[in-house]
Chains A and B, each alone.
Chain A
Amino acid sequence: MGSHGPIIACFSGLASLLKFRLAATSNADGAKFPEGLKRELMPKHVAIIMDGNRRWAKNRGLPVQLGHKAGEEVMKRIAVKCSELGVKVLTVFAFSTENWVRPQEEVGFLMKLFEQVIQTDFNDFIRHDMQISIIGDKSRLPKSLQSLITTAEESSKSNKGMRLFIALNYSGRYDITQATKKIASKVRDGILSAQDIDEGTFDQHLETSKIDFPNPDLLIRTSGELRLSNFMLWQIAYTELLFVEKLFPEFNEGDLLEALRSFQRRQRRYGGTQVY
Chain B
Amino acid sequence: MDKRNGNKASQLCEDLCTFIRRCILSVLTVGPVPRHIAFIMDGNRRYAKNRNLEDGAGHKLGYVALMNMLKYCYELDVKYVTIYAFSIENFKRRPEEVQSTMQLIKEKIEGMLREESLFNQYGVRVYFVGNLKLLSESVKLSAEKAMEATTHNSKVVLLVCIAYTSTDEILHAVEESCREKRAEFRKGMENSESLITVTDIEKHMYMADVPNPDVIIRTSGETRLSNFLLWQSAYTLLCSPSILWPEIGFRHLVRAVLDYQRNFAYLEQKQKQS
Q: Taking beta carbons and an 8 Å cutoff, which residues of A are in contact with B?
A: 101-103, 171-173, 176-177, 180-181, 183-185, 187-188, 194-195, 197-199, 202, 225-230, 233-234, 236-243, 266, 270-273
A240-B89 contact given A188-B182, A226-B259, A230-B234, CB 8 Å threshold? no
- Residue pair A238, B226 in contact (C-beta under 8 Å): yes
A226-B182 contact given A199-B167, A237-B166, A237-B167, CB 8 Å threshold? no
Q: Mark B81-96, 1 if CB is under 8 A from A, else 0.
A: 0000001111011100
Chain A residue nearest in CB terms to B200: A180
- Residue pair B171, A195 in contact (C-beta under 8 Å): no
Partner of A226, one of B224, B226, B237: B237
Which size bracket describes the interface of B in this complex?
A: 35 or more
B191 within 8 A of partner (CB):
no
- Residue pair A184, B195 in contact (C-beta under 8 Å): yes
Pairs A–B under 8 Å by Cβ, sample size 6: A187-B182, A194-B175, A202-B170, A239-B225, A243-B238, A272-B90
- Residue pair B170, A103 in contact (C-beta under 8 Å): no
Q: A180-B177, A225-B263, A226-B239 are in contact. List 8 more A-B contacts (CB 8 A).
A: A101-B274, A176-B201, A180-B196, A184-B181, A197-B171, A236-B224, A240-B224, A270-B226
Q: Which residues of B are found within 8 Å of A226, using beta-carbon distances?
A: 237-239, 259, 263
B250 within 8 A of partner (CB):
no
- Residue pair B174, A180 in contact (C-beta under 8 Å): yes
> CA of A60 to CA of B264 in the docked complex: distance in angstroms?
24
> CA of A83 to CA of B245 in the docked complex: distance in angstroms?
38
10 nearest A-B residue pairs (beta carbon): A271-B89, A230-B234, A237-B227, A241-B223, A187-B178, A233-B230, A181-B195, A272-B92, A184-B178, A226-B238
- Residue pair A237, B230 in contact (C-beta under 8 Å): yes
- Residue pair B231, A176 in contact (C-beta under 8 Å): yes
Partner of B179, one of A103, A194, A237: A194
Q: Which residues of B are found within 8 Å of A266, using beta-carbon distances?
A: 222
- Residue pair A239, B92 in contact (C-beta under 8 Å): no
- Residue pair B231, A102 in contact (C-beta under 8 Å): no
> CA of A158 to CA of B217 in the docked complex: distance in angstroms?
44
- Residue pair B230, A271 in contact (C-beta under 8 Å): no
- Residue pair B197, A177 in contact (C-beta under 8 Å): yes
Chain B residue nearest in CB terms to A239: B224
Q: Which residues of A are found within 8 Å of B198, using beta-carbon distances?
A: 173, 177
A227-B94 contact given A181-B196, A233-B231, A241-B224, CB 8 Å threshold? no
Q: Which residues of B are found within 8 Å of A177, using beta-carbon distances?
A: 196-198, 201
> CA of A7 to CA of B237 in the docked complex: distance in angstroms?
60
Partner of B171, one of A172, A198, A227: A198
A184-B234 contact given A176-B201, A241-B224, CB 8 Å threshold? no
Q: Which residues of B are found within 8 Å of A184, using beta-carbon distances?
A: 177-178, 181-182, 195-196
Within the complex, the shortest CB–CB distance from B161 to chain A, in Å, comes to 13
